Amino acid sequence: MEQKDTKDITNREVKSSAFTIYFGKPKNAAELYSALEGVPVLPEDIVYTTLEGVLFVARKNDMAFTVRNRVLVISEHQSTVNLNMPLRDVIYYGRTIEKLIDAKALYRRKQILVPTPEFYVFYNGNEIFPAEKTMSLSDAYLDKTVTPMLELNVKVININLPVNHEILEKCKPLYEYSWFIQRIKEYLASGKDRDTAIIQAVEDCECEGIMVDFVREYGAEAINMLFTQFNMDDALEVSYEEGFEDGRTEGENRKLIQLVCRLLQKGKDAAAIAEELEEETALVEKIAAIAGIMGFHDTEQIYEALKTLPTPV
């Protein structure tokens, strides 16, 4: 396969999540692949092709890597699993292939060979969800056919510790990550505030030998990642009224959404946009989070989603 240089295909202003940083280590990604496929691979077999800012804006919790003859696209969800994941993965895969091949090669007679794609979502939210479920692109088709010409399946795996999916036994890094998130949830359920819960969970990791290398390498940065991560999930649960409580008209609110989306597409982060537009950062982050799920161009959908929260998107 004729490939482009994949070393610099990212938007550095997008904030990485703890999940993508942790599995951005080839050793952990290799163990994850081996658990999913039942085939041992080495860290040096992993080649990352992650495109930041394609599926998510304010916080990047998706990643992709090639290994041997396959490319895996993986996402983490901590709120409701989004039913549009197959559609989003179609877009993601298309843009990944654009980065992997030379566009000029498309016009040559020789067939271009591409890695076989696989799509996974790891769910660790609080809603009741089965241990495993497959979502299909054809579920969204207006006209249903027996054998659709274009299909894409996404396997959703519930990695919450109480669910006890078998992959947690096969992949130590994934088990430890799930343990870490579960410990934060338990502290929150006991009444601790978010900051205390996260800091205490990080300390527990060191004491219990969980994700030790990650915690020691990133230290305060790891804690800040989790602050951002949990705050962003909360942003999706805050009502529209709280987001637009300053009395603007509907037209003004739609205009604000358009401006924020336009600036996000230019690579600016929420804080920079808030400063430029003289808006509250929290409000811009909410718009960015919804736009990252629904896309930049459908202002009406974003507007309606903000109106109908607090249920998680």
DSSP code string of 178-225: HHHHHHHHHHHHTT--HHHHHHHHHHHHHHHTSSHHHHHHHTHHHHHH
Q: Which position has the token pair 């039913």?
A: 83
Proportion of the chain above pLDDT 90, given as a percent: 35
Please report the pLDDT score of residue 4 as a whole number: 42
Task: Evaluate if residue 3 carries a pLDDT over 50.
Answer: no
User: Residue 53 has which token pair?
Assistant: 């800012």
Give the pLDDT band (50/70/90) at residue 305: low
Top-confidence residue, 56 or 292? 292
3-state secondary structure of 42: coil
For 123-140, the pLDDT digits (tens) are: 988 888 899 999 999 999
Torsion angle, alpha carbons of 301, 304, 309, 311, to 10: -50
What is the average pLDDT across 29-41? 94
Angstrom distance (rounded) from CA 274 to CA 60: 19
Q: What's the chain's average pLDDT? A: 80
Do 284 and 277 touch, CB atoms closer than 8 A?
A: yes
Do 167 and 36 touch, CB atoms closer than 8 A?
A: yes
Give the up-direction half-sphere exposure of residue 62: CA atoms within 13 A in the CB hemisphere: 25
Amino acid identity of residue 88, one-letter, is R
User: Residue 244 has which token pair?
Assistant: 């637009």
Rg (CA), the chain: 20
For 38-56, the pLDDT digits (tens) are: 999 999 999 998 775 544 4
Give the up-direction half-sphere exposure of residue 73: CA atoms within 13 A in the CB hemisphere: 25
Any bridge partners for residue 120, and if so which?
74, 155
3-state secondary structure of 50: coil
Please report the pLDDT score of residue 238 as a whole number: 47
The torsion angles phi and psi of 241, rounded to 5 degrees, stand at -60, -40
User: Residue 115 has which token pair?
Assistant: 């890695």
Please report the pLDDT score of residue 218 as a whole number: 82
* Highest mean pLDDT out of 58-72, 153-167, 208-222, 224-238: 153-167
**Contact residues for 290 (Cβ-Cβ < 8 A; gap 6+):** 236, 302, 305, 306, 313
Please report the pLDDT score of residue 16 as a whole number: 62
For 267-284, the pLDDT digits (tens) are: 888 888 888 888 888 788
Do 156 and 121 touch, CB atoms closer than 8 A?
A: yes
Do 229 and 15 touch, CB atoms closer than 8 A?
A: no
For 66-115, the pLDDT digits (tens) are: 998 898 888 887 666 778 889 888 988 888 888 888 888 888 889 999 89
Tell me the torsion sign for CA atoms 29, 47, 158, 224.
positive
What is the average pLDDT across 53-64? 56
Do 121 and 157 touch, CB atoms closer than 8 A?
A: yes
Task: Evaluate if residue 171 carries a pLDDT over 80.
Answer: yes
Give the pLDDT band (50/70/90) at residue 58: very low
Please report the pLDDT score of residue 63 as a whole number: 85
3-state secondary structure of 47: strand
Do 305 and 294 touch, CB atoms closer than 8 A?
A: yes
